[in-house]
Structure 1
């Protein structure tokens, strides 16, 4: 649980930064979900044993890592739009996805400093589930977020982590 707590504290610190830009807890969690999916798809595509390409190369995680400034915001928006048009599960996940992080410097911080530094595939489903559940719980406790009205049942959280 200590690893999950560390991840939650790290994730929550960026949520606080984005709140000043009008990005609420729900939007932040949504953006994290998209970005984490892309990072974990990259990890799966580049693993040494049995690599598996989940998203087309033109939407690869590395494109976000390499982009800076306005180019990063443009690239992220382009990727969300393109992935929404893909068939199957990927298209379903990204259907109606929009970039809510309008400050390229903050987006870069999330991509490079927060998400890219972790190996999310090796952290284990239990840590991912605990981190996600704790992040949602923190959002629900945050009086200014309006997220307290939402409750995500544990089986749904398990299913979300399993899919990602």
Structure 2
């Protein structure tokens, strides 16, 4: 995964091809025009679907991705196609959230990122996994350390 200039983005304006299984290779990044600023980027993805790796039954969630970019940012159509690629992928809720976060870290190398999954109840239980990362040795690492234990006090963001 490498940084691309806007004219090198492959997915915008072209025919959409949906991958049938987990496809991190569809993720694309572009240059942040304001890397000197700390600012928050939020994606709300209310149609996430994956499969239970044991039963094969579908799991549905709203995924929240929040990050503070550095030099690169994720292109939104590629993110949509990437998240769609989980549709036929078997993974537990917690795995999905950590995989998404790690793939986005590899793509963008953000200053800070957090990924939350609000999975719909199955069998009467909802699962809301949360994963975050702050760049080591920076104030963003301290932000990650501060937000992780306090996430249980956040109201649900449905």
Normalising by structure 2, we get a TM-score of 0.32
Normalising by structure 1, we get a TM-score of 0.31
Higher RCO by CA contacts (8 Å cutoff, separation 6 or greater): 1
Structure number having the greater helix percentage = 1
Structure number having the greater strand percentage = 2
